[in-house]
Structure 1
Amino acid sequence: MGESRDHSHVKRVVVKVGTNVMTNKDNRIVSPILRGLVDQIAELYERDIMTILVSSGSVIAGMEVMDSTIDDPTIRRQVFSAIGQPRMMRHYYSIFHEYGMRCAQVLATKRDFSPGKHRENMINCYEGLLSQGVIPIANEDDAVSLSMSMFSDNDELASLVAELLNADMLILLTDTDGLYTGHPDDEDSRLIRNVTTDQNVEQYIQETNKGEAEGRGGMESKLGVAKETAKKDIPTFIANGKRAGVIVDLVDGKEIGTRIID
């Protein structure tokens, strides 16, 4: 099964949850999925393990309450995101409150991670929240993020946050169990447990990739980001966000999902 997974040192975890994890086939936010994520974050919190959540979903949340006649796709995305961001935070705030926990929204563009004052301010903000036991919920600031200031997707944002905060682990949650040798629904396909940073697995990506509802990420993006993150000595995993207990199980060292090894 590969190398043993001793994660007893883990105290800080970055978890990215994609739109395809939190939505159903009708592109509606599924509240029980969000509740399941928060339940796991709360369990880790009780063990003094802090989670930084990188959450998609704002565009879908905006689409749920507004029809748009805007033709320009960029402006349409900005509008939906601006409307959906507070809706997503209301979901999270309400659920965390039930656990007696607090959460905070941290929006960013790619330029905020460039060396200088912006980066220092980002670190200070995150460290300040974590020191107070507040769960940061990160997302791209879609309302103002354009062209050069855009992340390729939230996988890239999650990787940058993990590096910024010297995280002990990065978990990229999608709607499959990881990278397969073929389509996940194919009986002959098998889950690839470990991928090295120099391993060429391009032939498997298109079969595994299901895409993301209204998202920009996919398996190719996740593997690219995961490899770059693993090279920075941050253990990185791709796993199924709809699997019960997936975050806690990975932190506990259970061999699920696909692990990227440097």
Structure 2
Amino acid sequence: MKRIVFKVGSSVLTETTTIAKERMLNLVSLIAEARKKYEVILVSSGAVAAGYTAVQLNRSMPTSKKVLASVGQPILMSAYKNKFDIYNVTISQILLTEEDFDSRVHTEIFQDIIERTLRHNILPIVNENDISTTPDQLFGDNDQLSAHVAHYTGADLLVILSDIDGYYDSNPKDNPKAQIRKIVTQIKEEELNQKHTPNSQFATGGIVTKLHAAQYIMSKDKEMFLCNGYDLTSAREYLIDGVHNRGTLFTKKQRTSKKES
């Protein structure tokens, strides 16, 4: 059975003052369906944004951001549990930092936990532990975290669910004729060096962090699929039906037209 990692961003999971319940339920429904075909790991952002739904602190202040994360983590996991219970899916929470991938001992512990949760049909939900850590210990965005999780757990595919439909050949906000690049086999340096432009006050990435994640994934001979997390049609078509209508596949492998529309 193939193994996939889903990564979902804050903008998909939360509104300004509430959890986006319908979008989260749609995500949970897709994951429950995907688990019939794949081993699934979920990397989820949203703790800080979820905390802000309860306490409106200034997230630009490091300590306040940590407080928001500490408040939001149980809110986020409670919301997940309520929805996964509908599908009788048991979940676990795993909090990591960049240091967990720098230490062989820590990495092996993480890998063992993942293997055991999957073996017992438990869905591991991974997030960055930004509460009791220093900036040097953090990835800073879950795009990078999810790429490392995908590599170190031996996943075949990373699926990033974002607020965009895929990777365009130019900025769709500036160019209405911009087209989605359905397959990307190489990322240029100038693309990786663009300015980070997160679209949400609670997002820490933007398209550049996703390109860095894709570059890392491809360097490990794995694949990444970037698609819309608000409307999961593209993800469902690609993962369940084997049809590539929208979304961008980052891969170094030679592809046939099998998944092309």
TM range (shorter): 0.7 to 0.9
Match 2:112 to one of 117, 124, 131: 124
**What SS does structure 2 have at the residue aligned with 1:215?**
coil
Q: Are 1:62 and 2:51 counterparts?
A: yes
2: CA distance, partners of 1:157 / 1:63: 22
1: CA distance, partners of 2:123 / 2:192: 38
Counterpart of 1:259 in structure 2 is 249
Counterpart of 1:28 in structure 2 is 18
Q: Could you tell me whether the CA contact under 8 Å between 1:155 and 1:225 is conserved in 2?
A: yes
Compare 189-198 and 54-63 and name the one that shifted more: 189-198
2: CA distance, partners of 1:163 / 1:27: 34
Consecutive unaligned residues of structure 2, counting only runs of 5 or more, are 253-261
Q: Could you tell me whether the CA contact under 8 Å between 2:222 and 2:251 is conserved in 1?
A: no
Counterpart of 1:213 in structure 2 is 201
Q: Are 1:53 and 2:42 counterparts?
A: yes
Q: Could you tell me whether the CA contact under 8 Å between 2:193 and 2:208 is conserved in 1?
A: no
| Aligned pairs (5 A) from 1:85-100 | 85-100=73-88
| Aligned pairs (5 A) from 1:69-88 | 73-88=61-76
Deviations 1:52-103 (A, max 9, x none): 11101100111111133x7971111100000000000000011111111111
Q: Could you tell me whether the CA contact under 8 Å between 2:48 and 2:202 is conserved in 1?
A: yes
Consecutive unaligned residues of structure 1, counting only runs of 5 or more, are 1-9
Counterpart of 2:32 in structure 1 is 42
| Aligned pairs (5 A) from 1:176-215 | 176-185=164-173, 186-199=175-188, 202=191, 211-215=199-203
Fraction of identical pairs, as percent: 31
**What SS does structure 2 have at the residue aligned with 1:171?**
strand
Counterpart of 2:222 in structure 1 is 234
Number of residues of Structure 1 aligned to a counterpart in Structure 2: 249
2: CA distance, partners of 1:218 / 1:98: 32
2: CA distance, partners of 1:210 / 1:180: 16
| Aligned pairs (5 A) from 1:162-177 | 162-177=150-165
What is the CA distance between 1:38 and its match in structure 2?
Answer: 0.7
What is the CA distance between 1:245 and its match in structure 2?
Answer: 3.4
1: CA distance, partners of 2:206 / 2:122: 30
2: CA distance, partners of 1:71 / 1:123: 32
1: CA distance, partners of 2:88 / 2:144: 31
Distance 1:141 1:191, change over 3 A: same
Instruction: Indicate the RMSD between aligned Cα atoms, in angstroms.
Output: 2.3
Counterpart of 1:135 in structure 2 is 123
What is the CA distance between 1:176 and its match in structure 2?
Answer: 0.7
TM-score, scaled relative to structure 1: 0.87
Distance 1:161 1:93, change over 3 A: same
Distance 1:210 1:77, change over 3 A: closer
1: CA distance, partners of 2:108 / 2:128: 18
Runs (4 or more) in structure 1 with deviation over 6 Å come to 203-206
